[in-house]
Structure 1
Amino acid sequence: MRDRKLIEFAKQMRREQTEPETRLWLELRAARFQGIKFRRQKVIGPYIADFSSREPMLVIEIDGDTHAGQEAYDRARTAYFEEQGYRVIRFTNRDVLTNMDGVLEQLASFLTPPLPTLSPEGERAL
């Protein structure tokens, strides 16, 4: 069963987004980024992810000043999201506010699957 208080808090957070969240949301909303449908302030288990998508399974976190001193909590959240099958990427408020192009570039490279590696002999013969 979903926690009603957590859902209400997520709704409040959507109404009161921070400046970095608003700026990144403008880049992500309406499947603008690589056709991926993102949700903001999404309740996932006992936590609220800043942004998430189901395909691919991804959580984007924006860390502001309020994250200083709560590194253990952030590690626990990340571990929980990863246990649920999500990949997690984090950006700082400063990154989003001063280098949006770099943030989007890093996000794109995070989503690009690695190229397969070939053995030194090349492809295997069947």
Structure 2
Amino acid sequence: MPSITELCRELRQKQTPAEGLLWNILRNRGLMGKKFLRQRPICVKSVMVKYEYYIPDFYCDEAKLVIEADGPVHLYKKEYDKNRDTVLKSLGLIVLRFTNEEIEKNMGIVLEKIKQSL
């Protein structure tokens, strides 16, 4: 079983085209001077005193903002995504979800929504 660090590296290497487009804007403080990280694990201690990791596509610690780029696979994991968002929001994080299509075809609208959350 790969470590969480190895898994994050693998996810970064296998980014979708939509993730790549958004990352090109967010990286190097490219949006409003905020630092975003890509595929950074967030550790959560569960009630069973075990640790669970969530790996958002993009994360800005300063703004406590998680951004998810959802591809077709997310159509089959709606309940998981809903529960995950609930956990992340309980940590005081803001969660934004965009479809890959929204990112690819309406980047201006996507960036405006991100700016409003920053």
How many Å separate the matches in 1 of 2:117 and 2:30? Answer: 17
Unpaired segments of 5 or more residues in structure 1? 112-126
Unpaired segments of 5 or more residues in structure 2? 44-52
Which of 103, 106, 112 is 1:105 aligned to?
112
Which of 26, 29, 52 is 2:27 aligned to?
29
1:92-119 deviation line (CA, Å, top 9, x unaligned): 10000111111101211233xxxxxxxx
1:53-103 deviation line (CA, Å, top 9, x unaligned): 110111001111010121110011111211222111111100001111111
Shifted more, 32-41 versus 80-89: the winner is 80-89
1:1-25 deviation line (CA, Å, top 9, x unaligned): xxx6222111111112110000000
How many Å separate the matches in 1 of 2:116 and 2:60? Answer: 16
Higher RCO (CA-CA < 8 Å; seq separation 6+): 2
How many Å separate the matches in 2 of 1:7 and 1:81? Answer: 20
Q: Which amino acid aligns with 1:31?
A: R
Please, what is the CA RMSD of the aligned residues? Answer: 1.4
How many Å separate the matches in 2 of 1:99 and 1:35? Answer: 22
1:115 is aligned to none
Moved over 4 A (4+): none
**Alignment partner of 1:55 is 2:62:** yes
2:97 is aligned to 90
2:78 is aligned to 71
1:39 is aligned to 37
TM-score w.r.t. the length of structure 2 is 0.86
- For the pair shown, the structure with the greater C-alpha radius of gyration is 1
- What's the % identity of the aligned pairs? 39
